[in-house]
Chains A and B, each alone.
Chain A
């Protein structure tokens, strides 16, 4: 896959899955914007790695739930890279995937939902609105939004997180319908449990073992495993694919059609 000369924005790319995606794009020659919120040092390290891999890396701080901050970031990207081809909405509100400490439904307040909806949906909305003119100037582009296989199979009922990601899938399909006529594709990648990431650090071993036992490919995803499908959906290989959710969980969830 050749992303030579392509400009890619990955939100929440300072760590975990986002960082793996950023590095994978850079390894294919892309110019990658490593968006982050808190950890400047980590983002700079990811950007440096991107350059070492043969691409380009530009760390940019922006709170993706803040439309003005996002607009500023996109302006910088366009000035720096001359345009934008691919956007990966990976950032989400901090969450801990620990079944033992999860909130039961009767403990989950509307504010919990709101926090996750803001993290998954408000941020994606802000980013998509801001990047649209740049994508249209290129005569097309690809948007990839990170969802979760929990929407199809709530292995652990993380109410607020999963509900927000379910909304993101609906948002993505609807956006795909609106932007198809402009040549812009919108798809989701829905990983299962990915380890190690900050969010899954405290997932207990028995939970991982149970998921592994149910997974045909016999293991849990690593951040790198998620990058391939994202690159596919960003590339011309998937030029006739839009409005889809690609599940990346070793076969734990099957179906969709």
Chain B
């Protein structure tokens, strides 16, 4: 019997320390269809169970996680990551098998994406992550001398709540691991669009270190369920939330005023292609890199480009580049086909394409290249356009510019939503452009082709992602001085 045919085959999502499994009510979410369909049972907790899980996590974190040296936590996470990088490991095999069904992404894309992503959480990368935010990461373990005098130590919250969103496989790992590194008792709310990976990771950690497994829970409630949300928000000391502005505003309104709230809203990213990258030798590779960024996870990530600003004056024109990009997207469509779109998404793509086609009718040099089957669409614009959201799902605007220096001004009106700028330009230009782009609100400049793979220790949306979580306790010099006088060996 093929997997999925058997109604008894059901994947249990989440991780609930302190609750006997048979006491938990579950709701079934179905992904895919036909023989390939997958049923995922997500937990639905009542108010008392919420309290019980929160109390368990809080107590376990206090009794164990907070007593561990950071190096030990790094070692346990590394052990879990090594397991997930091993393609023969049962967890990894399960991830490769089920994540494509749940997210709809091409299996090969998921496999390659997972490996690239998980590598950024190996021990040496986690140490980099810590060093990015803490000049001396030992402040997480004990009081460390401060340059101004006295001593400081950083404490993570007792209970950190993550409200995750989106369907990029494994995305919750960033914040989940951040919380563990600062020794927080951790509760994460699964995104309904990918409700598996975070729970698996928690279970895997529990397998490696059962006591650590008690220090984190992975739960679910239906997005917008105010009662369930309130129950959890009341438990948390700090809340990290991802999603659209409306969802974040709703959460913010329910967060108690004494609770720290760290929202990560929707972002828009774009890319810049210098004329230096458009000569006969380099242009093919440039188009390949751009197509990779566009196709990976069908632009569902905040770091995915929606507009490419392409400089005029190269040996290949922006129109030439658009044609090469179209071919590379066709190649991607064969290698990693786009996932099946929902009716709403397909409608958005068609609407966007029609809108772009209309622009072509005025003879303004507008060029629309698209796959007859609708798997991708390139709109090449010869007008002074700025940044405009596309319909995602491999739809992209190529905007011709005389000089890449114009781009910062064109994106500046969108400051609040800017995130990544992928860039293909020579060194002098890279640094000449970086200042104005940063000032305009861009928080990450990376190579074209690397937009969907942030490096280890990156500062998500320009924030210090670990530092934002902790509070610092200082022993002032006065206390130290007074203590000296009180020592039993004081003269």
* Given A181-B284, A181-B287, A183-B330, residue A139 in contact with residue B324 (CB < 8 A): no
Q: Mark A168-184, 1 if CB is under 8 A from B, else 0.
A: 00000000000001110
B367 near A139 (CB under 8 angstroms)? no
Is residue A137 contacting chain B, with contact meaning CB distance below 8 A? yes
Which chain B residues lie closer than 8 Å to A183 at the CB level? Answer: 326-327, 330
Expressed in whole angstroms, the minimum distance between the Cβ of A235 and any Cβ of chain B is: 14
Is residue A136 contacting chain B, with contact meaning CB distance below 8 A? yes
Is residue B369 contacting chain A, with contact meaning CB distance below 8 A? yes
**A residues engaging B (CB < 8 A)?**
136-140, 181-183
Expressed in whole angstroms, the minimum distance between the Cβ of B222 and any Cβ of chain A is: 42
| Interface of B: prevailing SS | helix
A182 near B371 (CB under 8 angstroms)? no
Which 10 residue pairs spanning A and B have beta carbons closest together?
Answer: A183-B327, A136-B323, A139-B326, A181-B284, A139-B369, A181-B324, A182-B323, A182-B327, A183-B330, A182-B324
Identity of the chain B residue whose Cβ is nearest the Cβ of A5 in the assembled complex:
B372
The 26 listed contacts between A and B (C-beta, < 8 Å) are A136-B323, A136-B369, A137-B367, A137-B369, A138-B369, A139-B323, A139-B326, A139-B327, A139-B330, A139-B369, A139-B370, A139-B371, A140-B326, A140-B327, A140-B330, A181-B283, A181-B284, A181-B287, A181-B324, A181-B327, A181-B328, A182-B324, A182-B326, A182-B327, A183-B326, A183-B330
* CB proximity to A under 8 Å, residues B348-401: 367, 369-371
* CB proximity to A under 8 Å, residues B260-283: 283
Which chain B residues lie closer than 8 Å to A139 at the CB level? Answer: 323, 326-327, 330, 369-371
Which chain B residues lie closer than 8 Å to A140 at the CB level? Answer: 326-327, 330
| Alpha-carbon gap, A136 to B287, bound state (A) | 15
Taking residues whose C-beta sits less than 8 angstroms from the other chain, chain B's interface range is 10 to 19
Which chain A residues lie closer than 8 Å to B287 at the CB level? Answer: 181
Which chain B residues lie closer than 8 Å to A181 at the CB level? Answer: 283-284, 287, 324, 327-328
Q: Mark B313-350, 1 if CB is under 8 A from A, else 0.
A: 00000000001101110100000000000000000000
Which chain A residues lie closer than 8 Å to B323 at the CB level? Answer: 136, 139, 182
Apart from A137-B369, A183-B327, list 9 A-B contacts with CB within 8 A: A136-B323, A137-B367, A139-B326, A139-B330, A139-B369, A140-B330, A181-B287, A181-B324, A182-B323
Identity of the chain A residue whose Cβ is nearest the Cβ of B283 in the assembled complex:
A181
| Alpha-carbon gap, A181 to B370, bound state (A) | 16
| Alpha-carbon gap, A137 to B371, bound state (A) | 11
Expressed in whole angstroms, the minimum distance between the Cβ of A104 and any Cβ of chain B is: 43
Which chain B residues lie closer than 8 Å to A137 at the CB level? Answer: 367, 369
Identity of the chain A residue whose Cβ is nearest the Cβ of B326 in the assembled complex:
A139
| Alpha-carbon gap, A138 to B287, bound state (A) | 17
| Alpha-carbon gap, A2 to B367, bound state (A) | 27
Identity of the chain A residue whose Cβ is nearest the Cβ of B323 in the assembled complex:
A136
| Alpha-carbon gap, A11 to B5, bound state (A) | 56
Expressed in whole angstroms, the minimum distance between the Cβ of A68 and any Cβ of chain B is: 22
Expressed in whole angstroms, the minimum distance between the Cβ of B333 and any Cβ of chain A is: 11
| Alpha-carbon gap, A127 to B283, bound state (A) | 25
| Alpha-carbon gap, A138 to B327, bound state (A) | 10
Which chain B residues lie closer than 8 Å to A182 at the CB level? Answer: 323-324, 326-327
| Alpha-carbon gap, A219 to B324, bound state (A) | 44
Which chain B residues lie closer than 8 Å to A136 at the CB level? Answer: 323, 369
Identity of the chain B residue whose Cβ is nearest the Cβ of A179 in the assembled complex:
B327
Which chain B residues lie closer than 8 Å to A138 at the CB level? Answer: 369
Expressed in whole angstroms, the minimum distance between the Cβ of B360 and any Cβ of chain A is: 10
| Alpha-carbon gap, A140 to B333, bound state (A) | 14
Among B323, B330, B370, the most chain A Cβ lie within 10 Å of the Cβ of B323
Expressed in whole angstroms, the minimum distance between the Cβ of A163 and any Cβ of chain B is: 29
Identity of the chain A residue whose Cβ is nearest the Cβ of B327 in the assembled complex:
A183
| Alpha-carbon gap, A136 to B327, bound state (A) | 9
Identity of the chain A residue whose Cβ is nearest the Cβ of B331 in the assembled complex:
A183
| Alpha-carbon gap, A151 to B305, bound state (A) | 49
Which chain A residues lie closer than 8 Å to B283 at the CB level? Answer: 181
| Alpha-carbon gap, A138 to B370, bound state (A) | 7
Expressed in whole angstroms, the minimum distance between the Cβ of B176 and any Cβ of chain A is: 41
Q: Mark B273-312, 1 if CB is under 8 A from A, else 0.
A: 0000000000110010000000000000000000000000
Identity of the chain A residue whose Cβ is nearest the Cβ of B377 in the assembled complex:
A139
| Alpha-carbon gap, A174 to B283, bound state (A) | 17
Expressed in whole angstroms, the minimum distance between the Cβ of A236 and any Cβ of chain B is: 11
| Alpha-carbon gap, A43 to B135, bound state (A) | 81
| Alpha-carbon gap, A105 to B237, bound state (A) | 94
Which chain A residues lie closer than 8 Å to B369 at the CB level? Answer: 136-139
Expressed in whole angstroms, the minimum distance between the Cβ of A218 and any Cβ of chain B is: 40
Identity of the chain B residue whose Cβ is nearest the Cβ of A132 in the assembled complex:
B323
Identity of the chain A residue whose Cβ is nearest the Cβ of B370 in the assembled complex:
A139
| Alpha-carbon gap, A139 to B332, bound state (A) | 14
Identity of the chain B residue whose Cβ is nearest the Cβ of A180 in the assembled complex:
B327
Expressed in whole angstroms, the minimum distance between the Cβ of A237 and any Cβ of chain B is: 15
| Alpha-carbon gap, A200 to B382, bound state (A) | 52
Which chain A residues lie closer than 8 Å to B367 at the CB level? Answer: 137
Expressed in whole angstroms, the minimum distance between the Cβ of A75 and any Cβ of chain B is: 14
| Alpha-carbon gap, A183 to B367, bound state (A) | 16
| Alpha-carbon gap, A139 to B371, bound state (A) | 7
Which chain A residues lie closer than 8 Å to B371 at the CB level? Answer: 139
Identity of the chain A residue whose Cβ is nearest the Cβ of B280 in the assembled complex:
A178
Which chain A residues lie closer than 8 Å to B327 at the CB level? Answer: 139-140, 181-183
Identity of the chain B residue whose Cβ is nearest the Cβ of A240 in the assembled complex:
B334
| Alpha-carbon gap, A182 to B369, bound state (A) | 11
| Alpha-carbon gap, A156 to B487, bound state (A) | 112
* CB proximity to A under 8 Å, residues B225-247: none
| Alpha-carbon gap, A183 to B288, bound state (A) | 13
| Alpha-carbon gap, A137 to B319, bound state (A) | 10
| Alpha-carbon gap, A181 to B367, bound state (A) | 18
| Alpha-carbon gap, A137 to B370, bound state (A) | 9
Expressed in whole angstroms, the minimum distance between the Cβ of A142 and any Cβ of chain B is: 13
Q: Mark B404-421, 1 if CB is under 8 A from A, else 0.
A: 000000000000000000
